[in-house]
């Protein structure tokens, strides 16, 4: 029986080979042989951005992370709010500790400790 | 250990790429026919006998179209990432008893679970790489449900792996599949653990595969097509290829770990073992299709809350019982 590292390497190699075959056969070859022969249907209107029936200059951009947080907040109610403030607290303390540690390392180098 | 030529043949021909495409054609035909019957329609009838070649016709139609994207989209990386996701899913079958020379190692289940995570993230990447308000909403919903469904699916898979490790399963998916039937009968607490893990694993699988009631990421009537809204031509074909391959591989893993593995076939006969696993996979797939056709859809926050409230306690209880 092989070890898990060997397994991971073989799995990665075979996955890359299979993925590359899919990409080359179903994308590159089909685009070169079949799709390139179809005429491109573009006119002045197809370049316009239309939202809600109106032509706009820039499309509306939403933040996936903001929507994700909103879904989790509505799913978990108050718990996630408590968790959020708690994790914010932790992360600011972590940042302070990281700065303190970096300062200690810098000081140790400067003072030759 | 399989030779390099054997590995390449397995990855590209059987049970790999070519056979997976055949399996996708069959399962998608089955899904369309079944959902059509449930909705009093006929389903595909024109391409091939009984319309069985319709999924292939759809694939060829899409990949033969000119690749067009809006000016805010990424060009090459989404197609490459999705191709890699397809590769990861297809190669997972080499670690299952459907392969004639399977690859396996101690603790390979952990590696396979990590590899399989690439597939859903490839779908999310495909969505956000083609900006559109509906794709962004779809991707956010997909990630929200995925964040709670993948851990519960993975935790549930640990139960048969833990139980079978006492009889030489070695936390390997292939070795466990040969002993999976024994996990149900090795003791009272183990049987209860397997029942609970099967339920929680099935719920997790529904969420990870975007099957109703957890298909909020697609939600056709609300956000057009969610994650697939902005896609067309070869990009849509690749997205569907990944999604349909996932709907074969995950039910197959569920079947080999929870539904008795290769039992009642003789484990030394790979052809009979493979046949049994494919039959069990099609049964699980059929249940998914029926669920997808008859169930209503949850709101995103309801889907997340449901999985947290019901699936997680079951999975945790199952793991604790399996450790007793």
Tens-place pLDDT, residues B257-273: 999 999 999 989 999 99
Mean pLDDT of chain B: 93
In chain B, positions 50-79, which contact chain A (CB-CB < 8 Å)? Answer: 63-67, 70, 72, 79
**Do both A67 and A29 map to the same domain?**
no
Q: Which of residues 78-117 of B touch A (CB under 8 A)?
A: 79-80, 83-88, 90-91, 94-95, 103-108, 110-112, 115
- Any domain includes A55: no
pTM: predicted TM-score of the whole model, two decimal places:
0.89
**Same domain (yes/no): A67, A109:** yes
Q: A7–B103: do the CB atoms touch at under 8 Å?
A: yes
Residues of A in contact with B95 (CB under 8 A): 7, 11
* pLDDT tens readout for residues B160-187: 999 999 999 999 999 999 999 999 998 9
Higher pLDDT, A90 or B274: B274
Count of domains for chain A: 2
Question: Which ranges of chain A does DSSP label H, i.e. alpha helix?
Answer: 4-23, 30-33, 64-76, 78-111
Verify whether the Cβ–Cβ distance B65 to A35 is below 8 Å: yes
A108 located within any domain: yes
Question: Which range of residues forms the domain containing residue A91?
Answer: 62-113
Q: Is residue A45 part of a domain?
A: no
HEC sequence for chain B: CCCHHHHHHHHHCCCCHHHHHHHHHHHHHHHHHHHHHHCCCCCCCCCCHHHCCHHHHHHHHHHCCCCCCCCCCCCCHHHHHHHHHHHHHHHHHHHCCCCCCCCCECCHHHHHHHHHCHHHHHHHHHHHCCCCHHHHHHHHHHHHHHHHHHHHHHHHHHHHHHHHHCCCCCCCHHHHHHHHHHHHHCCHHHHHHHHHHHHHHHHHHHHHCCCCCCCCCCCHHHHCCHHHCCCCHHHHHHHHHHHHHHHHHHHHHHHHHHCCCCCCCCCCCHHHHHHHHHHHHHHHHHHHHHHHHHCCCCCHHHHHHHHHHHHHHHHHHHHHHHHC
* Residue A53 maps to a domain: no
Q: Per-residue b/e over B110-127, b at no fewer than 16 CB within 10 Å?
A: bbbbebbebbbebbbbbb
Considering only A32-41, B40-49, B102-111, which range has the smallest mean pLDDT? A32-41
The pLDDT of residue B306 is 95
ipTM of the complex as predicted: 0.93
In a domain, A50, yes or no: no
SS3 state at A51: strand
Q: Do A33 and A68 belong together in one domain?
A: no
Cross-chain residue pair A26–B234, CB shorter than 8 Å: yes
**pLDDT on residue A16:** 97
Closest residue of chain A to B130, computed from CA coordinates: A61
Whether A113 and A73 map to the same domain: the answer is yes
């Amino acid at each position: 029986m092989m070890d898990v590292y060997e397994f991971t390497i073989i799995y990665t190699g075979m996955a890359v080979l299979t993925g590359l075959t899919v990409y080359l056969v179903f994308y590159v070859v089909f685009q070169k042989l079949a799709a390139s022969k179809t005429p491109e249907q573009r006119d002045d209107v197809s370049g316009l951005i239309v939202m809600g029936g109106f032509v706009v200059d820039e499309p509306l951009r939403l933040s996936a992370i903001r929507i994700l947080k909103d879904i989790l907040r509505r799913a978990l109610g108050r718990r996630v709010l408590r968790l959020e403030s708690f994790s914010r607290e932790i992360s600011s303390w972590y940042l302070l500790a990281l700065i303190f540690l970096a300062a200690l390392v810098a000081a140790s180098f400067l003072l030759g400790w | 250990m399989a030779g390099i030529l054997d590995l390449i043949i397995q990855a590209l021909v059987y049970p790999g790429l070519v056979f997976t495409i055949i399996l996708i054609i069959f399962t998608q035909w089955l899904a369309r026919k079944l959902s059509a019957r449930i909705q009093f329609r006929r389903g595909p009838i024109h391409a091939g006998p009984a319309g069985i070649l319709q999924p292939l016709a759809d694939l060829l139609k899409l990949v033969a179209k000119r690749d067009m994207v809006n000016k805010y989209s990424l060009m090459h990386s989404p197609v490459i990432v999705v191709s890699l996701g397809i590769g990861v899913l297809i190669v997972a079958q080499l670690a299952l008893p459907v392969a004639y020379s399977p690859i396996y190692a101690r603790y390979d289940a952990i590696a396979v679970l990590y590899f399989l995570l690439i597939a859903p993230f490839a779908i999310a990447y495909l969505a956000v790489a083609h900006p559109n308000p509906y794709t962004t909403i779809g991707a956010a919903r997909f990630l929200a449900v995925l964040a709670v469904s993948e851990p519960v699916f993975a935790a549930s898979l640990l139960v048969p792996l833990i139980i079978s490790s006492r009889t030489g399963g070695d936390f390997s998916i292939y070795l466990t599949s040969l002993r999976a039937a024994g996990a149900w009968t090795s003791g009272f607490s183990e049987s209860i653990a397997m029942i609970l893990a099967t339920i929680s694993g099935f719920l997790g699988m529904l969420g990870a595969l975007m099957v109703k009631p957890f298909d909020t990421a697609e939600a056709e009537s609300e956000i057009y097509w969610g994650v697939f809204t902005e896609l067309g031509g070869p990009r849509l074909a690749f997205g569907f290829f990944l999604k349909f391959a996932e709907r074969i591989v995950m039910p197959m893993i569920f079947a080999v770990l929870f539904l008795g593995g290769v039992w009642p076939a003789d484990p030394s006969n790979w052809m009979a073992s493979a046949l049994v696993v494919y039959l069990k996979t099609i049964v699980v797939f059929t249940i998914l299709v029926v669920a997808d056709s008859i169930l209503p859809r949850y709101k995103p926050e309801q889907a997340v809350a449901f999985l947290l409230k019901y699936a997680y306690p079951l999975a945790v209880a199952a793991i604790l019982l399996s450790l007793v």
